[in-house]
Amino acid sequence: MKAFRLDELEAERAANEGAYLQFLRERNMSVGLYALNAGEHDPQKPHNQDEVYFVVSGRAQITVGMETTQVARGSVVYVPAGVAHKFHHISEDLRVLVVFSPPES
């Protein structure tokens, strides 16, 4: 078993001064914590993997392809591989668990 605490992951991510911390990598998936602060720009480009976002905290909008929706704590968003997507209009610091399948390369 592997178990993680969100506060410890956030501290590790912040200590590494990056927006993304991959904390689990297995044969069929990887999982990370993504952080964007209020007003920040999301620099993501489309990925070669399917993704699932689970919003842990914060408020923003996300556009996936041509569709836009509001997200907040508890929101879950699926993004198919190769589809352009961005968080924007981030009104509260955003913390998101990201699951990639297959694992992010």
- Enumerate domains of the chain plus CATH numbers: 4-99 (2.60.120.10)
How many CA atoms does the CB half-sphere of 20 hold within 13 Å?
13
Distance in angstroms (rounded) separating the CA atoms of residues 34 and 62 = 14
DSSP secondary structure letter of residue 61: E
Residue 62 is predicted with a pLDDT of 98
pLDDT band for 50, please (50, 70, 90 cuts). Answer: very high
To the nearest whole number, what is the mean pLDDT of the chain? Answer: 97
Confidence of residue 105 (pLDDT cuts 50, 70, 90): confident
Predicted local distance difference test score (pLDDT) of residue 104: 86
Query: To the nearest whole percent, how much of the chain has pLDDT over 90?
Result: 97
pLDDT in tens, 61-91: 999 999 999 999 999 999 999 999 999 999 9
d(Cα 3, Cα 41) in Å, to the nearest integer? 31
pTM, full prediction? 0.94
